[in-house]
Amino acid sequence: MAAHTDPVAFFVGARLEKTARLLPDKIALVSREGEMSFAAINEKATCIAGHLRREGIRSGDRVGLLLPNSLAFALSYYGTQRIGAVTVVLDARLKGKELYGVLLDADLRLLITYRRVMPEIGEVLKESGQKRVWVVDGEGTESFDRRLSPPPADFPPPKLTPEDDAVILYTSGTTGEPKGVVLNFINLAQFPRSMGKMHHTGRDTVWGCILPMSHISGPIYLNELVDKGSRIIIFDQFNPVTLLEGIQKHGITVFHGVPIIFQLLLALPNLGDCDMRSVELAAMMGTTVPVALMRQFKDSQPHVKVIQGYGLTETSPLITMTEPHMADLKMASIGRAVPHVEVKIVDESGQEKPEGETGEIVTRGPHVMKGYFRRPEATAERISNGWFHTGDVGRRDADGYYYHLGRKDDLIITGGLNVYPAEVENMLCEHPQVQEAVVFPIPDAKRGSVIGAAVVLRSGEALRQKELLSFLRKNLANFKVPQRVIIRDSLPRTGTGKVIRDASSLLPNS
């Protein structure tokens, strides 16, 4: 309980101040806009916090960030956290009806955004009643930049508890309306703790921030930064060439990415000639990670530990992760439970299943969200007796490592038999001419559903459906072999890079 009384243990603003005192001149953030030391970050965050207080924003008030990967995002996050405001992180690509719905739901006291999107979102701001806005690169009373100068007076530190709301992030599923995920300060302390204990991150760690900061990545990386005194290289958009340049110029040691990022890297003709010796760890995150893709990246960079991690926004986000020393042995695994986290596999009635058997992944611990914003019923549907139901299917091996088989909703029942798409997708990706694949159900009058698959071939390759099906029949049970395989130039994706697993989007003329 003593840790709960120490503000530096949980509160981002307090940790920033402490790290700025310890490492004032160390460069902490680097982006295309420039670089900032811990002392400079603390100074500007204090200015923002002071102006927020001066303009009536208090602890518990919600301040929205509609910003891309940038120094402004980091400063806005630290500034809002310094006064105990709830930072509402909004997907920087939101506009139109999507943005309107989120703004109504979030009920913000203030929105911080950037000038180049104002022509697109100005009308939405009026319709939603969002009157108070700070604009990065803006002018006049709405200018964010003028809030980077000190306000007339100091402000008192906020009175907070570790259980107070810290951040709200809006989920972006492939179906349904986005829901605000409320994380408290205890939740946000989990990522730095897990990374330190399992991956030994510290002051010498240089993070490559490729993923959108306007999702869970922003808060957790920025918390990790001030917790460890490390460094973050911010990429404002993903380009495999700029990532390689960043690795070589800044000595990036760790980066996380979704599978498409690694596919694009591997597509570069000169990847093997690039100096990536600084990279120690590359983590593939996503709903389904092709093991063949992990091996290809490992083969191209043998010195890099290539691992998987698993989690959701609702779990802050890490549930499981593979340790570097187990990277090769457990490459197909999403890892074991991170520190202080419980995980089990359960059946439909909630009873735990033995090792090797499939069921839903559920988890309990200090990483589980406080709840969905103003949605008690939706919260109760996901959290039961402290256990968060992920909606994902997996299994556990004898060593305590978990394997992700897909979403419960993705399960294909064909002729009364269960098929998990991940099993078929991984086998498709084992074919040397296949770059990526997605498996999906096709409605069928006799069997309920039959299995369909869409694949993207490697550049310059040609492959007939007959040859691919022959390969699958040699390696899979007959009922798991797709009835139909189509070859596409690319796979449709959501804004977060997830492949859309829907027959109407994947089949031609459907």
Q: Which two tokens stand for residue 38?
A: 């811990």
Q: Would you say domain 2-22+37-184 falls under CATH 3.40.50.12780? A: yes
Q: Which two tokens stand for residue 469?
A: 């099906």
- Residues whose CB falls within 8 Å of the CB of residue 355, separated by 6 or more in sequence, listed in order: 395, 396, 397, 398
| pLDDT exceeds cutoff 60 at 397 | yes
Give the Cα separation of 311 and 404 in Å (integer): 11
Q: Which two tokens stand for residue 353?
A: 């299943």
Q: Which two tokens stand for residue 149?
A: 């100068």
| pLDDT exceeds cutoff 60 at 293 | yes
Please confirm whether the linkage preceding 317 is cis (ω < 30° from 0).
Answer: yes
pLDDT at 430: 95
Contact 426, 294 (CB under 8 A): no
Contact 172, 199 (CB under 8 A): no
Question: What does the pLDDT look like over 339-394, one tens digit per residue?
Answer: 999 999 999 999 999 999 999 999 999 999 999 999 999 999 999 999 999 999 99
pTM over 0.85: yes
CA-based R_g, the chain, Å: 23
Mean pLDDT for the chain?
94
User: Given pLDDT bands bounded at 50, 70 and 90, which one contains residue 3?
Assistant: very low
Give the Cα separation of 18 and 8 in Å (integer): 8
pLDDT at 286: 77
User: Given pLDDT bands bounded at 50, 70 and 90, which one contains residue 2?
Assistant: very low
Q: Give, in words, the CATH class of 411-506.
A: alpha beta
Give the Cα separation of 176 and 192 in Å (integer): 31
User: Given pLDDT bands bounded at 50, 70 and 90, which one contains residue 85?
Assistant: very high
- Residues whose CB falls within 8 Å of the CB of residue 29, separated by 6 or more in sequence, listed in order: 35, 36, 41, 71, 74, 225, 231, 232, 234
| pLDDT exceeds cutoff 90 at 173 | no
pLDDT at 121: 95
Which is nearest to 74 in space by CA: 100, 48, 51? 48
- Separation in Å, CA 431 to CA 78, 342, 354, 468, 469: 47, 36, 32, 8, 11
Give the Cα separation of 212 and 208 in Å (integer): 11
pLDDT at 177: 75
Question: What does the pLDDT look like over 232-260, one tens digit per residue?
Answer: 999 998 889 999 999 999 999 999 998 88
- Please report where in the chains the tokens 């419980």 appear, as a residue: 342
In this prediction, residues 62-78 reach a mean pLDDT of 98
> Taking the C-alpha atoms of 20, 26, 32 and 33 in order, what is their torsion angle to the nearest 10 degrees?
50
Percentage of the chain lying above the pLDDT 70 cut? 97
Q: Which amino acid is at 342?
A: E
Helices 217-228, 12-22: inter-axial angle, 10-degree rounding: 40
User: Given pLDDT bands bounded at 50, 70 and 90, which one contains residue 10?
Assistant: confident
Helices 421-430, 291-300: inter-axial angle, 10-degree rounding: 40
Q: What is the DSSP string of 44-59?
A: HHHHHHHHHHHTT--T
Instruction: Give domain limits for the chain.
Output: 2-22+37-184, 411-506
For the chain, the distance separating the N- and C-terminal CA atoms, rounded to the nearest angstrom, is 58
pLDDT at 154: 83
Starting at the earlier edge strand, list the strands of the sheet with 27-31. 34-37, 27-31, 231-234, 206-209, 254-257, 281-284, 305-311, 318-321, 336-337
Question: Could you tell me how many helices (H) and strands (E) the chain has, helices first?
Answer: 17, 26
